[in-house]
Amino acid sequence: MSTRLAGKNIFLTGAAQGIGLAIAEDCLREGASLFLVDRDGALLAETVARLDAPPERLGWAAADISDSAAIASAMADAAQRIGPVNALINNAGINVFNTPLETSEEEWQRCFDINLKGAWNCCKAALPGMIAAGGGAILNIASTHAFTIIPHTFPYPLAKHALLGLTKSLALEYAAAGVRVNALAPGYVETQKVIDYWNGFADPEAARAQTMALHPGRRIAKPAEIARAAVFMISDECPFMNAACLVVDGGLSMLQHAV
């Protein structure tokens, strides 16, 4: 075990699988204590058992981040289980993809409730304690959808653009209080959701190859590669990084078109 994150008490959302699970594994290896939140309680319980960390270093709660009262309660529980939260990683999110005029009111509300309001609920619950303690770090897991547009993915990019706005606003508002707020923008990542997407095609291998071919390096990220970036950004190794967005997409967002 390393000590890069020793002394960090991290509140991590969307922790039961994919990028969230990879971040949890890496943060524990780096010496952090974690409080995990996911709305899928059964899957989260399996994740906690898999992580197999001492109870003083690993707490958890099944909660929907769009429910501000549930998140406030979870934050209080975290303080009791692992100590005052001095780092927050807003990883939870959902894909809501449609065309603008076909997007239902329910889809719109669900997209913003999780991808924007949920992140704000967690920030709002964590910030008072960080300010009182003289500092802290918040990392919002955004997406390359936060500054690029893929047709037929409405309204997801709108929510991720807004998440960057939230990041910058909070960063400037609370910089003098010692709180850093940054964002991490992954591109394509080989999570189970992406694998399920490929498997929805008649030829999953062809769909996978097509995704890989979009990228300059002819591959996409592994969850562990996103986790490494998250560890760096939440650590004290970048104390002057604030209101920033780190892009981890293999160069895809810089590519004008594939050749």
Asked whether residue 148 carries a pLDDT value surpassing 80, the answer given is yes
pLDDT category of residue 12 using cuts at 50, 70 and 90: very high
Count of beta carbons in the 10 Å neighbourhood of residue 254: 9
Are residues 208 and 198 in contact, defined by beta-carbon separation less than 8 angstroms?
yes
Any residues with CB less than 8 A from the CB of 237 and at least 6 apart, and which? 4
pLDDT band of residue 50 (cuts 50, 70, 90) is: very high
Q: What is the pTM of this model?
A: 0.96
Query: Is pLDDT above 80 for 135?
Result: yes
pLDDT band per the 50, 70, 90 thresholds, residue 2: confident
> How far apart, in whole angstroms, are the C-alpha atoms of residue 122 and residue 66?
9
**What pLDDT is stored for residue 244 in this prediction?**
98
Coil vs helix vs strand at 62: strand
Report all structural domains of the chain as residue ranges with CATH numbers, in order of start. 9-254 (3.40.50.720)
Least confident of 163-167, 211-215, 230-234: 211-215
Which strands form 9-13's sheet, in the order they lie side by side? Answer: 58-62, 33-38, 9-13, 87-90, 136-141, 179-186, 245-248
pLDDT tens for each residue of 100-112: 999 999 999 999 9
Q: Note the pLDDT tens digit of each residue in 14-27.
A: 999 999 999 999 99
Percent of the chain with pLDDT over 90: 96
Instruction: Say whether pLDDT at 259 is over 80.
Output: no
**pLDDT score for 258:** 65
Q: Which residues are catalytic?
A: 156
